[in-house]
Amino acid sequence: MRTRLALVLAVATTAAVCTTAWVSAGVELPRAADSLKFAVIGDNGTGQSPQYDVAQQMLSSRTTFPFTFVVMLGDNLYGSQKPQDFVAKFERPYAPLLDVGVRFYAALGNHDAPTNRSYPPFNMAGERYYTFAKAPVRFFVLDTNLMDRAQLEWAEDALARADEPWKIVYFHHPIYSDGDRHGSNVELRVMLEPLLVRHDVDVVLSGHEHIYERTTPQKGITYFIEGSSGQLRKGGVTPSALTAASFAEDRTFMLVEIGGEQMVFQTISRTGRVVDSGVIHRGRGASEGSSQ
C-alpha cells in the first residue's frame, strides 16, 4: 500500500475550526493548462433563489477557472420530480453551464427518485452506481440509499481494477461528520471504510448534511461534505477533533484542481467568498497544518 496523504493548508489564524464568516485561507488554484478542473455541489435541487445564486457564482468562477464537469452528491431534486421539476430545479439554474458543454455526474440521494438515474443530463447511464475516469482521476459513484452485497462486490472489483493515480469516491450519506442534523453514518462506515482504505482511495465526497465540512484525515483519507449548495437547516456543526474546517452560514460549492501529486480546492459561498481552501498532497504521510 502506498504512503497515504497529507493535507497542507495556508492559514490565517491558529484556531482549529471556525463556523462564523471567514476570510480566505489564502490557497490559490494553480489554473494550470493541463490540470483536471471540476466543481462539486450537493443537496442543491430546490429550484429556489439560493440555488440560482450558487449557479451564478459557478458560472462566474468558470471565467477564470474553466472546469469541464460538475460532481453532484445527491438530493439533486427535492419535492416533486415531474418533468417540469427537472427544468426548474436543474436545467434552468445550470443552463449557462450546460449550454457550454459542462457535464454533470450525479449520485443518488435520499430525496431522489431511483428512476432519476435514467435522466440523461445526470450521466448515470441508468445505473445506481458507476465509475468514470477523467485523467488522472478515477471516480467511483455509489448509491448509499441501498448498500447491498452486489454493490459492495462491484466496488471492490472496480477499485481493484483502477490504475489511475488518483481515486475519488463520492456518495450521499457521510460516514464521518460533525453535522448536527445527521452526524456520521457509522453503519455505512463499517461497510465502506475497509474497502476505501484497502484500495488507497485518496478523497471521499458526500452531501446529506446541509453544511460544508472537511475532516482531518481518517486512516489516510480526507472526507468532504458539500451539502449546502441549495438549502440550509437549523443547527449546523458542532466541531470536534474530527473537524478540520466547517461552514454552515450560507450555501456553498467547491472548485477542485488536480495535477500531478496535488489536489487544490477552494470552497466558495454564494456571495463569492472563499470559506476554505487547501492542498492535498499524495504520498506525504502524516497530516500537516490546520484550518482557520
Residue 180's pLDDT band (cuts 50, 70, 90): low
Q: What is the pLDDT of residues 242-254, one digit of tens each?
A: 899 999 999 999 9
For residue 161, is pLDDT > 80? yes
H helices then E strands: how many in the chain?
5, 14
Task: Assess contact for 176 and 213: CB atoms under 8 A.
Answer: no
Task: Assess contact for 262 and 29: CB atoms under 8 A.
Answer: no
Q: What is the pLDDT of residues 36-86, one digit of tens each?
A: 999 999 999 999 999 999 999 999 999 999 999 999 999 999 999 999 999
Task: Assess contact for 236 and 217: CB atoms under 8 A.
Answer: no
Q: Cα–Cα distance between 184 and 80 in angstroms, integer? A: 28
Q: Is the peptide bond before 136 cis (omega within 30 degrees of 0)?
A: yes
Segment 138-144 mean pLDDT? 98
Say how many residues make up the chain: 292
3-state helix, strand, coil in the chain (%, to 5): 20, 25, 50
Task: Assess contact for 152 and 195: CB atoms under 8 A.
Answer: yes
pTM given for the model: 0.89
- Dig out the grid coordinates for 244 from the structure: 478540520
Q: How many CA atoms lie within 13 A of 228 on its CB side?
A: 27
Rg (CA), the chain: 17
Supply the pLDDT for residue 283.
59
Residue 292's pLDDT band (cuts 50, 70, 90): very low
Q: What is the residue-wise DSSP string for 68-131?
A: -EEEE-S--S-S--SHHHHIIIIITTTHHHHHTT-EEEE---TTS-GGGGG-GGG--TT-SSEE
Q: Is 280 exposed, middle or buried (0-12, 13-18, 19+ CB in 10 A)?
A: buried
Q: Cα–Cα distance between 139 and 168 in angstroms, integer? A: 5
For residue 9, is pLDDT > 60? no
For residue 108, is pLDDT > 60? yes
41: helix, strand or coil: strand
Q: Cα–Cα distance between 234 and 205 in angstroms, integer? A: 22
